């Protein structure tokens, strides 16, 4: 028996040791491959004789990538992301670069990222056309609404002969869990300040409240109006033509005998149907040169990433710096990895920038729906201390800077937002689930003793005591008043005036400027320019400090990620993923007071 146990233990130990060796060897192999690639490819160069800048964004547009691209060998295509700031820098640099003759935009691999990000990228491409006086050609095998919104700014828009353009307007539908929770006997106690603060409604209602319906309808109408107007202007369509195409889509399709590509062309949405080889031939013709008639050669081009790498190598480094810190994701208390805004970890980034003598100003790029009120205040206070130290702080709102995201912005000198930014949602809520009834149906009971009324009062296994519920509501209302005071002081408004436009209501960036919640409409570049002006800088370098994360952690994150990178079109799978995401987000919340400033809003 002893010999058997010894052999079993030895086998287990050999397995563990072998697995350890395999993992370490894989890590070593990855490092060696990275070194070899770096040595073999010292850096791309811009083709001579005039070239096209190839902009082919993939996955989701983000402010800051949440994984390490060098590990894509192990992760496949999962978590595909394209950093918006890199695209903007490449396009705006190429605009004034005589080596770049035109811009080629291909949108097939682009999934989403928020209307404001698409709008900022669209504006940069439009500047390339108008200010740089260089042509822009765009093509898609098929166009989703967001892809087409981006591509429509081009001088020419091409579509595959069997493709389509899917324009459908904007919508926002939520899943309401109240009926299911009632069947399970689960009670959700909702505490909130602001009648438009709708985050808890899916857990306490079976349908959308009238307040939420009113605010959402007004908000979506405003955003859709902007999309429609910009597409009409770029495509030189009459104001009602796009609406007619979308509202009467069946008639449009019937007139084209069911051919979606021809229907898009008849509606004036595209200029030409072209196959891939015809597309390449067209670009070579536009570029001209000795190889323009050689059908075996691809057109002269350089990708946006390679171009950016090449131009960055040639730049001189200035001593003065402006730090752009990205607050992307849900705001959570404590130290958090990239993809979330940790109250402590983000405050640490701010302190490092403040203590760095080379950094003369900060720009906080916010792409967050909010989260923990506690963590939001920790971050806002660090920004306030930075301003007191004499360094300007500017907020630049991306697609989403609402609730806790706006709380952070209130700690800055100026706020910039895109017209389509989702912001506001100045309100506070708390939720407490009660499981006493479902436990009772299972024959389980809870009993015990406490030394004071609040001891064990927030135990979800027990009915919530009315006094504890009242205390929670009082705390929520106090935090809401605190929020109003912070905004009033930052925006130089009376608290009563702030309250009228707060109440948890969501506003677009354009509306927020008119209400005094935002100073200017503009993107990240405008915010950086403002920061430089306040710091009295003429020559400066923009740096983007990030939270450090170990190679080992990144490697293991990719190896053991539950997402296999596969693409599914199953409706059942999509529903399951959406429901799982709704519940999974709740598990991340860890505010020490259970008080949140979070916006239940999606970026269209």
pLDDT at 559: 43
Point out the residues of the chain with pLDDT beneath 50: 37-38, 40, 68-78, 551, 553-573
CB 209 within 8 A of CB 201: yes
Rounded Cα distance, 126 and 135, in Å:
10
Rounded Cα distance, 382 and 354, in Å:
9
DSSP code, position 70: G
Catalytic site residue from 197, 360, 391, 510? 197
- E strand intervals along 107-213: 110-112, 136-140, 156-159, 187-193
pLDDT at 12: 74
First to last CA, the chain: 66
Rounded Cα distance, 246 and 171, in Å:
14
Which residue reads 């990222």 in tokens? Answer: 113
Residues 6+ positions from 457 with CB-CB distance below 8 Å: 464, 465, 467, 468
| Residue 425 annotated in active site | no
Catalytic site residue from 403, 420, 508, 530? 403
| Residue 403 annotated in active site | yes
Q: Which of 168, 165, 115, 112 shows the shortest CA–CA distance to 140?
A: 165
Which residue reads 């009660």 in tokens? Answer: 434
pLDDT at 40: 47
Q: Which helix (H) or strand (E) holds 548?
A: none
pLDDT at 45: 80
Let me know if 491 is exposed, middle or buried by CB neighbors in 10 A (0-12, 13-18, 19+). Answer: middle
pLDDT at 87: 96
Three-state SS annotation for 256-311: CCCCHHHHHHHCCCCCEECCHHHHHHHHHHHHCCCCCCCCCCCCCEEEHHHHHHHH
DSSP code, position 170: -
Q: Which of 510, 104, 63, 110 shows the shortest CA–CA distance to 286?
A: 104
pLDDT at 199: 77
Q: Report pLDDT digits (tens) over 567-576.
A: 344 444 455 5
Facing residues of 53 across strands?
103, 302
Q: Report pLDDT digits (tens) over 89-143.
A: 999 999 999 999 999 999 999 998 899 999 999 999 999 999 999 999 999 999 9
């Amino acid at each position: 028996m002893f010999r058997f146990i010894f052999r079993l233990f030895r086998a287990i130990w050999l397995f563990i040791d072998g697995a350890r060796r395999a993992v370490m060897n894989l890590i070593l192999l990855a490092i060696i491959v990275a070194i070899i690639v770096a040595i073999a490819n010292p850096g791309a160069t811009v083709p001579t004789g005039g070239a096209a800048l190839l902009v082919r964004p993939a996955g989701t547009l983000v402010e800051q990538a949440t994984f390490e691209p060098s590990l894509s060998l192990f992760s496949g295509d999962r978590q595909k992301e394209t950093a918006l700031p890199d695209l903007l820098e490449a396009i705006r640099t190429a605009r004034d670069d005589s080596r770049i003759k035109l811009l080629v935009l291909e949108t097939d691999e682009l999934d989403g990222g928020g209307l404001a990000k698409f709008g900022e990228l669209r504006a940069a491409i439009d500047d390339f056309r108008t200010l740089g006086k260089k042509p822009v050609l765009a093509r898609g095998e098929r166009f989703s609404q967001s892809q087409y919104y981006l591509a429509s700014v081009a001088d020419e828009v091409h579509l595959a002969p069997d493709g389509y353009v899917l324009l459908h307007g904007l919508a926002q539908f939520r899943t309401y869990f109240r009926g299911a929770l009632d069947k399970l006997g689960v009670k959700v106690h909702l505490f909130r300040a602001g009648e438009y603060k709708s985050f808890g409604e899916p857990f306490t209602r079976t349908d959308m409240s009238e307040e939420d319906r009113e605010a959402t309808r007004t908000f979506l109408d405003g955003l859709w109006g902007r999309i429609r107007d910009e597409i009409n202007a770029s495509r030189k369509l009459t104001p009602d033509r796009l609406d007619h195409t979308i509202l009467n889509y069946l008639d449009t399709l019937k007139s084209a005998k069911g051919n979606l590509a021809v229907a898009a062309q008849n509606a004036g949405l595209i200029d030409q149907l072209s196959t891939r080889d015809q597309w390449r031939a067209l670009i070579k013709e536009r570029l001209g040169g000795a190889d323009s008639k050689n059908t075996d050669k691809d057109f002269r081009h350089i990708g946006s990433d390679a171009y950016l790498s090449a131009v960055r190598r040639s730049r001189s480094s200035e001593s003065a710096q402006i730090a752009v810190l990205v607050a992307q994701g849900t705001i959570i208390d404590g130290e958090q990895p990239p993809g979330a805004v940790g109250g402590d970890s983000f405050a640490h980034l701010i302190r490092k920038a403040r203590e760095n003598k080379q950094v003369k100003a900060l720009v906080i790029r916010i792409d967050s729906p909010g989260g923990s009120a506690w963590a939001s205040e920790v971050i806002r206070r660090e920004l306030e201390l930075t301003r007191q130290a004499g360094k300007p702080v500017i907020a630049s709102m991306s697609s989403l800077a609402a609730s806790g995201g706006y709380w952070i912005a209130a700690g800055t000198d100026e706020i910039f937002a895109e017209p389509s930014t989702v912001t506001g949602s100045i309100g506070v809520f708390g939720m407490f689930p009660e499981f006493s009834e479902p436990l009772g149906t299972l024959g389980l009971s809870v009993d015990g003793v406490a030394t004071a009324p609040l001891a064990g009062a927030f135990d979800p296994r027990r009915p919530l005591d009315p006094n504890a519920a009242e205390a929670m509501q009082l705390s929520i209302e106090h935090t809401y008043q605190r929020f109003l005071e912070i905004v009033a002081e930052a925006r130089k408004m009376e608290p009563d005036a702030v309250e009228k436009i707060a109440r948890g209501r969501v506003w677009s960036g354009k509306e927020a400027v008119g209400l005094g919640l935002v100073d200017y409409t503009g993107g990240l570049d405008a915010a950086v320019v403002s920061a430089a002006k306040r710091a009295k800088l003429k020559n400066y370098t923009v740096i983007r400090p990030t939270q450090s994360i170990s190679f080992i952690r990144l490697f293991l994150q990719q190896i053991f990620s539950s997402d296999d990178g596969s693409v599914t079109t199953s409706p059942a799978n999509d529903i399951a993923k959406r429901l799982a995401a709704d519940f999974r987000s709740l598990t991340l919340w860890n505010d020490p007071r259970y008080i949140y400033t979070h916006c239940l809003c999606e970026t269209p």
